Structures are given as C-alpha cells and as structure tokens.
Amino acid sequence: MSVVVVGLNERDAPLDLLERLAVAERDLPKALGLLCDSPHLSEAVVLSTCMRTEVYAVLERFHDGLADINAFFHARAGTSPAGTDALEERLSVAYDDAAARHLVEVAAGSDSAVLGEGEILRQVRHAGERARAERAAGPVLGGLFRHAIEVGKRARTETAIARGVTSLSHVAVAMVADGRGGSLAGLRVVVVGAGEMGEGMASALSSVAGDPGIVVVSRSRARAEQLATSVRGRTADLGALRTEVADADVLLTATSSGTVLLDAHDVAAAMAARPDRPLLVVDAAVPRDVDPAAGRVPGVRLLDLGDLRTYAEARMEARRGEVDRVLEIVEDELERYRATVHGRSVAPVVAALRASAEQLRQSELDRLRPRLAKLDAADLDAVEAFSRRLVAKLLHEPTIQLKRAAGSARGERLAEALRQLHDL
C-alpha cells in the first residue's frame, strides 16, 4: 500500500491546461467516484484550487493505480495517455513520505502562490471533508489531511508567514489600489462571484481607502445580498452583468461557472459607450470568466492569475525569512506523523497478540473452574488479577520492542516472527 499525490500547479502548467484540469465543487462527487471505482485505489482526495489540481490516493497496486490516476487527468484534459502531448511530463508525482511532506507544506503555506495564504488551508480542510463525506477518504488520507491542517495552524501561529497580504483575493485588490496610489475613491467596482474568493475581494475592497462603490453579481441572489450588505454595496443579477460592466471602472471576477461569462464582443460593446474611460479587469477564476481576447479591446487592461502571482511574489520578500522557520515546523510534524503511522502499522499485530493471550488465559481459567469453585470471592478475584498481571508482564517487552521498531526492516521481521510463533 502506498500514499501518492499526482497533480500540477501554476508553476508547472499554462493557465489553459489548469482550466481543463480544474474540478469544480459540483463535480467533486463524480470525480471522487471515478477515482474510487478503480480496483487499485482504496482512498482518494481531490484538491482543486485556482492554482493547483492534485489527486491524493492510497494505492493497493502502485503502477496500476498510478496509471488510473493519469487516465483521470487525461480524461479531464481531453488528451490520450497513448498520445504524444506533454501532460504526462508536466504531472508531478510523490509518494509515501514525500507525498505527506508535500501536503503539509501546502497546508503550511510554504508551497503557495502567496506565502502563508489562508485560503489554501481552508481549501485543504474542505477537500478532506468532502472526500470523507463521499466515503472516498478513509483512515489513511483522513489522518493525513487532519494532520496537515494541524501543521498549517501551527505554522501560522508560531511564525509570521501569514503577516500582511496573504490571499489571492487581497492581492487582487492591492494590485488595483497600487495602480491608483492606494485609493479607490470614486470608482465603481463590480465583483462577480459571492464564493470564498469573491467574498474575500469584496471584503478587501471595503477596507481600502476611498470607500469605492461595490456591485456584487452572483447566481445566488441570497449570497450576493448578504455579501453586498456586509460591504455597503448593492447587488445585480448575472443577466445584468454586461450593463454593469458598461458603467464600471474595475471588474473583479472569481466564479466557478466553468464557462466564459463575458466574451470579447461583450466587453467591446461596453467600451464603445465610454471610449475615453478605461476598464481594469482582474479575472481570478479557473476556468476563466472573461475571454482572454477581451484584453485586446482598446481601453481594457486584463489581468489573470499569472499576473496576480507575479505581483504577489514582488510583495512577499518580507515573509521569505519565515519559510525556514515554517520548514522546521514541517520537519517536526512529519516526524510526529511518521511515528503515528508506524504505530498504526503494528497495531493489528499487537492487538492480535493480546487477543490470543487473553483467549489462552480465559481457556486455562475455564479448565480450572471446578477446582476454583472451592475458593471464596476474594480468592477468586486474586486469581483473576494474578492471571491478568502475568499476561500483561509477559506481553509488555515484546509490545515495546515491536512499537520501537515500527516502520523499519527490524520491525517487519519482529512482526512476522510474532505472527508465526503465535499463529496470529
């Protein structure tokens, strides 16, 4: 059995490939079902964000299971495993200890587009919870994801890696504000999407100097109204998006629609009515909400996730010094995780050994029951206690030695010897 992670992130792949591989929230049950249909996978978790799509799995047969995961990615990308495309080369693979390290570093914020970002910690937690809810994650991945969340919290509590701008939503707003000298006074800003990213952008906007006018557009009217109220803005229906864009200075999008909401023709029509008034578009959605060709419309500046990442990198020098401290925490927590995993690996042998000894103890007491019947209650209790203490003392040292050697070749030899000697 092996734990493996297969996937790619924004550093390894162009945005159009990330778009094809992204798994929307509504598609998670189907994706998890497809993975767990494989006879070579016993557990699976899909972590899909705007910056990465990764499959974590427990493989019963390593190479066959890995082939099934690769086939899953090819199906999403619309390519063939037998083809000559570059997908296979772009996918990164790590297994066992390296897979655990990768997830822990992601959750701790040291392997993120924005160092220390809080969004990824929530996304890791959500991925694990959804997989457990769909019965795709079991004790192995469930334990790994819970441990990763603990590490992520500890890293943000004990270091300053989360200080300052640490989310893509805040990066988007900071980038807009920097271009305006730090103020958005008098601007009309349209935020499309009331999910986590949209909420983060709207909240960040409301805290920027100038108190810009905010319009929240979302398929969910209730969520849009709730968000708009919290940022002193107003709402608009998705059908009115083109009208709202025609009167906007800034458009921020972050939906999970999976389809283009504004094409180049829509944007050109909006700009025709205000030829001397520029429009800044920040598309933080994967797949994209705005047709990339819209960036060629005169007066339009279109930024995507690649631009956000470049801007974020330029602003996180102050937190780079915290990475070494975070990695020290990662090493410490990985050692604790290994000890837990190794302890679980010998637990069945220890349990079987104790069960076998208890069965023998009860069998011997039953054989002596006629003779023990002559004893009074106090003496019977003493015999019972004596037999329990004797079994516990006999099993104590073998149990300690087995647990100490867990996860090593010696541990495997000891476990096998106990199985054979005691017919476990």
Q: What is the spatial distance between Cα 289 and Cα 284, in angstroms, rounded to a whole number?
A: 8
Over its C-alpha atoms, the chain yields an Rg (Å, rounded) of 29
SS3 358: helix
Q: Is 36 a catalytic residue?
A: no
Which of 149, 138, 131, 100 has its CA nearest to residue 407? 100
- The residue annotated as part of the active site, out of 5, 36, 45, 50, is 50
Active site residues: 50
